Amino acid sequence: MQRDLTPFCKALPEYQVSTEPRPDGEQLLILCDGSATPIYRRVMHAEMTDEQLISRIKLDLFAMGYAVEHDPETLLDEVKQQSYTTGEIHRTRWDRLWEERKLSTHRGRPQGR
């Protein structure tokens, strides 16, 4: 399915936005700078909204050192809210116990309980 690129062009006016089809049916978004040099590529998953994709693209560009409009507070909020998985993050009991620092380094098993 071909996605409309108008929101991406409006959100990223300093870049040339184009797409290429992928064998799996998804699209590959390509951003080029003023000299038509590709600087960024990202798969446009069908289940992600345009707003989610634009936010992640801006965050990636900011992290790569390109000038993108972001104030530090907004950036921190976006980093806290985003995950680079397209689904839910599943935590195991071991993950939770490790975070609580209740894993025994001697036996590799949780202490107590």
Task: Going residue by residue through the chain, which has 113 residues, state the pLDDT in tens, using 9 for 90 and above.
Answer: 688 899 999 988 889 999 999 888 889 999 998 888 899 999 888 888 888 888 888 888 877 877 666 666 666 666 666 655 555 555 677 666 666 665 455 445 555 55
Is 1 inside any structural domain? no
User: Under a CB-based contact definition with an 8 Å cutoff, are residues 29 and 19 in contact?
Assistant: yes
Give the distance, in angstroms, between the CA of residue 23 and the centroid of all CA atoms in the same chain.
21
**Domain of residue 84, residue span:** 6-99
> Does residue 21 fall inside a structural domain?
yes
Tally the domains of the chain.
1
Instruction: Report yes or no on 112 lying in a domain.
Output: no
Instruction: Kindly state whether residue 104 falls inside one of the protein's structural domains.
Output: no
Query: In degrees, to the nearest 5, what angle opens at C-alpha 100 toward C-alphas 110 and 102?
Result: 25
